Structure 1
Amino acid sequence: VIMWEKLGEVVSSWILSPVAGAVIAFLVFRSIVHFVFASGKPAEAAKKFGPIFIGMTFFIITLSLFTKTRLGNMLFTGMDQVMLLSLAVFAVSSVAGVFIVGKMTIGTGYEAVEYLFRKLQIITSCYVALSHGANDVANAIAPLSVVLTTALDSTSIVTGNFSYYLLALGGAGIAAGILTWGYKVIRTLGSKITALTNTRGFSVDFGTATTVLVASRLGLPISTSHTVVGAVIGVGLAKGLEAVDLSIVKKIIYSWALTLPVAITLSIVIYKGLMIVF
């Protein structure tokens, strides 16, 4: 039985997630432009505002880890405690960022800003990896978990007690995909849609990870790739529509439109084939 209402929610999330990623990335990059690049001393401004972005990153991660999760329910009795902890983590990580960034020798000018954000992007890239695991690994493992649950007559789906080896299998599969065919997607997202710098890349990472983590908390199986594309377009639009290669965007949208019907068709063919064989 197909739950059309739930399917509609999922498809809607595929549309909303790149839009949300684009909006967040756009706002982050515009804030960098306003508070850093437009200041009289961009390098000093970057050292001042960089730690704030670090704090925001750890704030969202902490909030996501402990809000309505098993670990959060074990450690905290209410949302107010989770919020207090998240704010404390924000404060501590921001202060730590001040000391770490303050010791960096980055020079002056715009190149110094890009150099600093190249270092900060390591943190946001880890942030993306966390959100990727929170959503895409679950998307990949869910069908396998259902099949094994049915075959083994287990109650792991009901209790949420998923086997760690299944999650490890999903993570290994994603890692293998990046090592083999991932370079093509990286090339498209990194250079073909719009020109990316370290500050733009930082904004893309932040917008993507935040959107995916929020969707994960809402239980929406969105695509990280969709969200990244939206975030890249968002930072491109911050420079103007002419900065975005619309021909590449059209090709990506066409491929998205084909994803669902192609997946449905292949699933039907494979299922019918297995039914005939077995």
Structure 2
Amino acid sequence: MTTVSTPPNDADHLETLDRDLHRFSHLESANQYVARPMIGLGISLAFIVLAGLGAMMFFGGDQHTMVVVAAAIFGAYMAINIGANDVANNMGPAVGANALTMGGAIAIAAIFESAGALIAGGDVVSTIAKGIVTPESMETAEVFIWAMLAALLSSALWVNLATWVGAPVSTTHSVVGGVMGAGIAAAGFAAVNWSKMTAIAASWVISPVLGGVIAALFLWFIKSNIIYRTDKIAAARKWVPVLVGIMAGTFAAYLALKGLKHLMRISLGTALLIGLVVAVVTWVGMIPVIRKQSEGLENRNRSLKVLFGIPLVVSAALLSFAHGANDVANAVGPLAAIVQASQSGDFTHAVSIPTWVMVIGAFGISFGLFLFGPKLIRMVGSQITKLNPMRAYCVALSAAITVIVASWLGLPVSSTHIAVGGVFGVGFFREWDAERRLRLARVNMPDETRIAPEERRRRKLVRRSHFMTIIAAWVITVPAAATMSAVIFFGIQSMIG
């Protein structure tokens, strides 16, 4: 019996082709997903190599060329890690509140971080970061150079590890720990300024608590005077211009005090006066703007988000500018000290940061943000607690106010601790406020509709796992960086000894 085979029709051919193409598209997507981390690592490595080659060009025939090249490589590595970890504090709230897209946040941060570093970055830094170790305790310039190399590499490694586990840590404290560990390894415990270290340890507690309290107070004010009012739009027309004015004045004082201190000398009183003038002018100017923006808005909470969007974007940009101006020294301060010690042998006086060194810091921070920043931006912006424009506004404003208060009190604080503390403050206030409102409503609530205690605990508004991870990372930053730095210093000594 002969079997007659019927040829497949066009529909069968097309269906098979679609399936094959679908498989190929999945394969291509998977390949891109796997290759993405490698691309970031490749670009980072290329930048680090370019930094080393640039240092070699500047110090071609010098006997200490290889030391400077190694320092430039470590400085570029540290700058990339600062961009990956620290910048999330400025952009996270705006992204979490959907006032900025991830791409927009990265673009704004890259521009303003670089501008802050190059325009208002530190022209002069101490040879030993933050005065942790007395320069006279170092026996020779060579010992000092090895100590700075160890401090730079250890702090970069620690920030890199913290970014990998998803913990926003203080790069300032990482550098402090690195310098302390190398100083102890090089000259003993007597070389460390322990009173300074005590003040820094106190700031671990003071700065996040102060940032959280200020953020919670502003959120309480917004809820009491706008959100819980019967006519929310009328209340917003009255208070939003005031709040925007406070933000503008605070950031004007913040930038005058911190971001522009290397261009001109400004006292705290002068900075506050500048802030007051800017606050009043902004408040008056925003009254007609908010009135026009609020026309036709529905009387509900969602409508209020529109009014806080632009101030939140501006605050993120200004925070990035000030961060670039201040924290670039964490990446390039030790590098500049090594360059000066290598050239002149002087390591006991203040050191000027050359332009090429500042460029390494500025571009390294931008590359780190662009390639690896989204992970921590998402952590700060949405994974600790849910943010909207009003809550994110409170976080940004508390960061600026806390820095000003800390400067007035003379406390060394971390912008990372303040911003993340502000996020925690907003989240814990929301938990307290929700519990308070539930207690008030419970009187009229039937027994069968009441929420069980176990369910209420499950509905906590701050993720406790992230809270504990971040607190643990903060506590061990200085000792971990110090231990790594001491080990690296002894390793360098053994290799050259």
* Pair in the same fold by TM > 0.5: yes
Cα deviation, 1:241-275, whole Å, max 9, x if unaligned, reads 53222222111111222322221122122222222
Question: Could you tell me which of 243, 246, 264 is aligned with 1:53?
Answer: 243
Find out whether 1:87 has 2:305 as its counterpart: no
Q: Which residue of 1 aligns with 2:330?
A: 139
CA gap of 1:114–1:161, structure 2 versus 1, over 3 A, is same
Counterpart Cα distance in 2 of 1:215 and 1:167: 26
The aligned residue for residue 30 of structure 1 is 220
1:97 is aligned to: 286
Matched, 1:117 2:308: yes
1:77-123 CA distance string (max 9 Å, x none):
x8765544332221112222223323325612211101211222112
Match of 2:385 in 1: 194
Q: Match for 2:478 among 255, 260, 271?
A: 260
Letter in 2 for 1:194: T
Could you say what secondary structure the match of 1:60 adopts?
A: helix
Conserved 8 A contact 1:64-1:217: no
> Counterpart in 2 of 1:62?
252
Q: Give runs of aligned pairs for residues 117-266 of structure 1, distance below 5 A.
A: 117-153=308-344, 162-215=353-406, 221-240=412-431, 242-266=460-484
Q: How many residues align?
A: 275
Write out the 4+ residue segments of structure 1 that deviate beyond 6 Å after TM superposition.
154-157
What corresponds to 2:210 in structure 1?
A: 20
CA contact (8 A) 1:60 1:210 kept: yes
Q: Is the 1:127–1:205 contact (alpha carbons within 8 Å) kept by the matching residues of 2?
A: no
Q: 1:239 to 1:82 in 2, by over 3 A?
A: closer
2:220 counterpart of 1:2: no
- Mapped partners of 1:46, 1:14: distance in 2: 36
Rounded to whole Å, the distance in 2 between the matches of 1:163 and 1:217 is 30
Unaligned runs of 5+ in 2: 1-190, 433-459
Does the 8 Å contact 2:249/2:275 carry over to 1? yes
Q: CA separation in 2, counterparts of 1:263 and 1:29? A: 36
Counterpart secondary structure, 2:192: coil
Check whether the contact 1:14–1:226 (CA below 8 A) recurs between aligned residues: yes
Measure the CA separation in 1 of the matches of 2:329 and 2:254: 16
Distance 1:210 1:82, change over 3 A: closer
User: Measured at CA, do residues 157 and 120 of structure 1 come closer, stay the same or move farther in structure 2, by a change above 3 Å?
Assistant: farther
Identity of matched residues, %: 31
| Structure (1 or 2) with the larger CA radius of gyration | 2
Post-superposition offset of 1:186: 1.7
**Residues 61-84 of structure 1, C-alpha deviation per residue, up to 9 Å, x if partnerless?**
3334445946554xx8x8765544
Q: For residues 184 and 85 of structure 1, do their structure 2 counterparts lie closer, same or farther at Cα, with a shift above 3 Å needed?
A: closer
For 1:248, give the aligned amino acid.
Answer: H
* CA deviation string 1:189-223 (max 9, x = no partner): 22222111111111111112332354467675533
User: Quick check: 2:305–2:388 contact (8 Å CA) kept in 1?
Assistant: yes
CA RMSD of aligned residues (A): 3.0
Tell me if structure 1 keeps the 8 A contact 2:268–2:408: no
Please give the TM-score of this superposition, normalised by the length of structure 1.
0.84
Q: TM-score, normalised by structure 2?
A: 0.50
Q: Which moved further from structure 2: 196-205 or 143-152?
A: 143-152
CA distance in 1, matches of 2:347, 2:249: 31
Q: Give the secondary structure class of the aligned counterpart of 1:40.
A: coil
Distance in 2 of aligned mates of 1:269 and 1:210: 39
8 Å contact kept, 2:333–2:353 = no
> Is 1:269 the equivalent of 2:487?
yes
Give the aligned residue type for 1:137: V
3-state SS of the aligned residue for 2:402? helix
Is the deviation greater in 204-213 or in 146-155?
146-155
Answer whether contact 1:58 1:89 (CA < 8 A) is retained: yes
Mean Cα deviation higher: 40-49 or 89-98? 40-49
1:131/1:213 contact within 8 Å kept: no
Question: Taking structure 1 as reference, are residues 156 and 137 closer, same or farther at Cα in structure 2, changes over 3 Å only?
Answer: farther
Give distance in 1, aligned partners of 2:410 and 2:349: 15
Instruction: Using the TM superposition, give the Cα deviation of residue 27 of structure 1 relative to its aligned residue in structure 2, in angstroms.
Output: 0.8
Q: Is the CA contact (8 Å cut-off) linking 2:403 and 2:413 kept in structure 1?
A: yes
